[in-house]
Amino acid sequence: MDSTNDSRFQSRQGGASRRRVIVFATPGALDGGGGIGRMTGYVVDQFDKSGAPDSIILDTRGTGSVLLSPFYLGRTLARLGVLLARRRVSVVHINVSERASFLRKAAVQAVAGLMSCPTVVHLHGASFVDYFEGGRFARGISRWLFDRCGRVVVLGDNWRDYLVQSVRTDPHKIRVLYNAVPDVGTDLGPRRPPEPGASLALLVLANLSERKGIGTLLHACADLKRRGQPFHVTIGGGGDVDGYRRMAAELGVAEECRFLGWIGREEAHAHIRSHDMLLLPSTHEGLPMVILEALSAQLPVVTTAVGSIPEVLTDGETARIIPVNDAAALADAVVQLGSDPELYGRLAGNGRRLFLKQFGIDAYAKSLLAIYRELERPGGELGGQLAESAASAASKRR
């Protein structure tokens, strides 16, 4: 499957048939790519609003069985080859995580390199360190990909340092861009703390796996029930839904846990606006967008100090930070937030201010466009379009 800026690109083609485009190579495209797909969708939407170059999203993995992945990849490479041959593409933005993702994205890089098209490799993999250190082949293909691309985008300073020191990536080509999201809470007033003794509305939005700490979450739920703390938890996301539903039953918290399966953007945003706190006790992370969405909506967050999270969140000020794999600490944090209105209000207000200062999608999209401009082809049209976009944004600020 490939998507061209949803259907909007198609509708504009008639009047701008020679405009050049940014190609996003993304696993699962926008609908099946999890956090990467959602991030790409936010960027494409923002590009569309700002009049930036058109976007084409090419699916490198597919959304079904992994056995079909080579078919999706082959079709994407053929589609990319056609676009490059027509000299329509200014930059190929390659989203990569870990494991087989590096094989697929190395193929995309090879095709783009063969056609002399600049590339940006965007590292999202929360478990990339484990992957890279897992064997000679993983180290070799990772270094090859980062060496061949024009720019590398990472989610935080810790990732940049690791690429420079361990992967030996050229530091001059690395750019740090924290994730960003649209403003989910733009029309919300101050969030009220839960009423004393009320049932706490807890929210989890993640792909259900041990990497996201779902086992720890369910054990914390059992702990809360033993303590007599009223609560209910909404769990949205794909992954091992049936397995964790069975675990909830075994732990005696099936009635308190509502498993939704995969949910779309709008439904996720509605839950963020209506619940009391977001829980994400992950063991590995990049910089989860669901945390940024929660900050924008003044929804207090309980999470762990993994990935780039401790670079941007401070325990007791903008979130509650707990140890990894510690169900008792998670339960303690939930009880504390539910019973301390001052703490609840501080996290809600400070989180919102942090979002407005650092995680808006508009500034993020402009930063991406600036990176693309660094790789502009001589004689290409991209620079002019970027300049027009920047000028338009500047006039709006005035």
In this prediction, residue 7 has a pLDDT band, given cuts at 50, 70 and 90, of very low
CB atoms within 10 A of CB 387: 12
pLDDT of residue 350: 98
How many domains does the structure of the chain reveal? 2
pTM: 0.85
**Residues 351 and 268 placed together within one structural domain of the fold:** yes
* Whether 334 contacts 204, CB under 8 Å: no
Q: Which of 36-50, 146-160, 326-340 has the lowest mean pLDDT?
A: 36-50
- Residue 126 pLDDT more than 90? no
Domain-located, residue 194: no
**Residues 241 and 349 placed together within one structural domain of the fold:** yes
**Residues 156 and 242 placed together within one structural domain of the fold:** no
Better-scored residue on pLDDT, 34 or 164: 164
**Residues 371 and 320 placed together within one structural domain of the fold:** no
**Residues 89 and 133 placed together within one structural domain of the fold:** yes
Q: How far apart are CA 181 and CA 362, in angstroms?
A: 9
* Whether 320 contacts 301, CB under 8 Å: yes
Got the DSSP string for 281-312?
A: --SS-S--HHHHHHHHTT--EEEES-TTHHHH
Q: What is the CATH number of the domain that holds 116?
A: 3.40.50.2000
Task: Pinpoint the alpha helices (H) of 95-182.
Answer: 100-114, 128-132, 136-148, 157-162
Write the pLDDT tens digit of every residue in 198-207: 999 999 999 9
Domain-located, residue 192: no
**Residues 366 and 354 placed together within one structural domain of the fold:** no
Q: How far apart are CA 322 and CA 68, in angstroms?
A: 39
**Residues 88 and 215 placed together within one structural domain of the fold:** no
Write the pLDDT tens digit of every residue in 359-368: 999 999 999 9
**Residues 327 and 217 placed together within one structural domain of the fold:** yes
Range of the structural domain that residue 208 is part of: 200-358
Give the 3-state secondary structure of residue 233.
strand
Q: How far apart are CA 224 and CA 257, in angstroms?
A: 12
pLDDT of residue 94: 97
**Residues 295 and 380 placed together within one structural domain of the fold:** no
Better-scored residue on pLDDT, 395 or 73: 73
Q: How far apart are CA 313 and CA 384, in angstroms?
A: 37
Strands (E), the chain: 2-3, 21-26, 54-59, 89-96, 119-123, 151-154, 174-176, 200-205, 231-236, 257-261, 277-280, 301-304, 320-322
In this prediction, residue 153 has a pLDDT band, given cuts at 50, 70 and 90, of very high
Domain-located, residue 16: yes
**Residues 115 and 257 placed together within one structural domain of the fold:** no
- Residue 240 pLDDT more than 70? yes
pLDDT of residue 32: 56
pLDDT of residue 33: 54
Write the pLDDT tens digit of every residue in 265-323: 899 999 999 999 999 999 999 999 999 999 999 999 999 999 999 999 999 999 999 99
Domain-located, residue 368: yes
Better-scored residue on pLDDT, 77 or 13: 77
**Residues 220 and 166 placed together within one structural domain of the fold:** no
Helices (H) and strands (E) in the chain, counts: 16, 13
Domain-located, residue 190: no
> How much is the mean pLDDT over the chain?
88
**Residues 46 and 143 placed together within one structural domain of the fold:** yes
Domain-located, residue 189: no
Domain-located, residue 81: yes
Q: What is the average per-residue pLDDT within 44-73?
A: 84
Which has the closest alpha carbon to 213: 125, 297, 278?
278
pLDDT of residue 64: 66
The residues with which 96 forms a beta bridge, in sequence order, are 123
Domain-located, residue 70: yes
